[in-house]
Structure 1
Amino acid sequence: MVIDRSSTIASDYAYCEKIIKRHSKSFYYAFSNLPKDKARAVYAIYAFCRTADDSVDENNTSGLQLIALDRLTDELNHFAKGQEVDHPLWRALRDVFNRFDMDIQPFYEQLTGQRMDIHFISPSNLSSLETYSKYVAGSVGKMLLPIIASNAKMDLNRVAEELGIAMQLTNILRDVGEDYRDKGRIYLPQEEMERYKYSEVFLSEGQITKNFVAMWEYLAKRAENLYDNFTQHIGEFDEDSRFPVLSSAHVYQGILNSVRKSGYDCFNQKNYVSAVEMAKLVARASM
């Protein structure tokens, strides 16, 4: 029996595309504008990261989470040796590694970030929060670099890492209430909570005080500075990738303004960028 490999790999990428469409419409909206080979590579990388996330999110005890993450780590080890599991995700990733000059280290960093999440400790300061963010999100930026900045004349690893950190900080600032209510987690740095005199009691009550707003803005400004630094380096990215990458950054940064418009209510509502606002931000990226 002759296997149509092109048909099989198309099906593998379709599996990955379905995952990004289901879990992140904004990323799919941005990266689907890439040339086909690059878009499909992004879908495969996203599917890996989603699988890593699900190892933690879909298991409700740390023991089960570690078992799932150990299994994924073992599969990545086999992939690194060219002995990948016969599964759509790994077959698609193998094709990505064959087509692009990929670095496997950020994939391991992503799994390190997931382990940090399992053994979660509230960050003591902004530096420790950014270290955590570097692993869970900065690693994603570095995974994507060989695809979207294949002809860069400078090392963009730090730039890509900082974009990931900015996006993770944005997630944290959007989900303050949800993280505490549903996961019992405080990602706001303890040092900043003490500096702005905002206690866990206030957090548990969802109090939006002047001090909370000042602390939130301090962290948001840090994220916005990282977004701005990334934007200054957009010319180093492949010409066919600049618009999708920049539009995704603008849309994600727009979440911060959506929180501001809600009166900083990141306790009782899910703040997101509306379709109209998203269109404006994407148009801004094309200017």
Structure 2
Amino acid sequence: MEKKQRQADFHYCERIIKKHSKSFYYTFSQLPCEKANAVYAIYAFCRTADECADGKHSSQKKIKLLSQLKKELDLFNNQEELDKPLWRALRHVFNTYDMDIRPFYDQLTGQSMDLTFTPPNTMNDLEKYSYYVAGSVGLMLLPVIASKSSEDLRLAVTNLGVAMQITNVLRDIGEDYHQKNRIYLPKEVLTYFQYSQSDLHNSLINDNFINLWEKLAARAELLYNKFLLSIELLDPDSQLPVCLSAHIYRGILDAVRNNGYQCLTTRNYVTKENMVQINTEVNNIFDLREGDALTVEK
């Protein structure tokens, strides 16, 4: 009975990631079952937090929902969690892996920053915010994907999370502005490239916009590269799926480029066909690496 309940709880979490992030589901479903389930539970928590702050509710309702989620996390931290699928699934994850509760609280801090949104002044401001909403997720996942590593990979997985969040910002510029009245592009970058709020309001794509977009994209790509330098320090069974996740998410940047930088009126994404292509390319890299290792052994 307990096993059936656990399977049902993780299936609940799996449905959430499958519905809301096809790219993450595509990659992390390739992990061994127990690790995949752990990722699904972590994602379900983050998605719940995101919906508290970004759902179609009044500001007061959002504050109340986020406060309630924090109280539930407090109960979980005190071993007194509510009898709900999410918390039952997370308890199993915490019992299985050497988890740290701090990044879960950091995630709630990040969502709170959206409730009292202030446009970032500098790249440092953007990256600080990106840590709370996405770098924290890397730290949540770390005990699952690097359970046997003796290296300190906290900076590496934080880099990946920040890179993914900057990618989100670059993908969602128009949506964030027109639907949420938010500008995540740092003021110093907008000023430097002489791109005004009026230009953004008019969905103007010119050389100034492309140059500022590429400025942020270069930072994201540097952080992706820094993370990928550490990929071989992850658990062997986690290296390929996590590497694939990084490459597919990075592919969003190329999707925007290939669409003429039209991210002000259009939502860009990596197509299923491109996911399969990236999957093949990454698998080939791993096959070559394993082949080299075999050659050395001989």
TM range (shorter): over 0.9
In 1, Cα distance between equivalents of 2:26 and 2:125: 32
TM-score between the two structures when normalised by the length of structure 1: 0.98
**Residue aligned with 1:243, SS:** helix
User: Is 1:43–2:33 an aligned residue pair?
Assistant: no
In 2, Cα distance between equivalents of 1:225 and 1:283: 23
- Greater alpha carbon shift after TM alignment, 77-86 vs 150-159: 150-159
How far apart are 1:219 and its partner, in Å? 0.3
Map 1:128-167; keep pairs closer than 5 Å: 128-167=125-164
Other-structure match for 1:252: 249
Query: Aligned AA for 1:43?
Result: Y
Query: Aligned AA for 1:100?
Result: Y
Other-structure match for 1:31: 28
Other-structure match for 1:94: 91
In 2, Cα distance between equivalents of 1:285 and 1:61: 44
Other-structure match for 2:296: none
In 2, Cα distance between equivalents of 1:46 and 1:130: 21
Other-structure match for 2:19: 22
Query: Aligned AA for 2:126?
Result: L
- Structure 1's unaligned 5+ residue stretches are none
In 2, Cα distance between equivalents of 1:5 and 1:232: 41
Other-structure match for 1:236: 233
Other-structure match for 2:174: 177
Query: Aligned AA for 1:162?
Result: N
Other-structure match for 1:284: 281
Other-structure match for 1:67: 64
Other-structure match for 2:105: 108
How far apart are 1:174 and its partner, in Å? 0.5
Other-structure match for 2:209: 212
Map 1:113-128; keep pairs closer than 5 Å: 113-128=110-125
Give the count of matched residue pairs.
284
Other-structure match for 2:292: none
How far apart are 1:269 and its partner, in Å? 1.3
In 2, Cα distance between equivalents of 1:179 and 1:142: 26
**Residue aligned with 1:178, SS:** helix
* Seq. identity, %: 52
Residue by residue over 1:16-60, the C-alpha shift from the partner in whole angstroms, topping out at 9 and shown as x without a partner, is 000000000110000001001000000000000000011112243
Query: Aligned AA for 1:242?
Result: Q
In 2, Cα distance between equivalents of 1:11 and 1:276: 31
TM-score between the two structures when normalised by the length of structure 2: 0.94
Other-structure match for 1:56: 53
Other-structure match for 2:6: 9
- RMSD over aligned Cα, in angstroms? 0.7
In 1, Cα distance between equivalents of 2:187 and 2:57: 26
Q: 2:224 aligns with which of 224, 227, 247?
A: 227
Query: Aligned AA for 1:261?
Result: N
Other-structure match for 2:80: 83
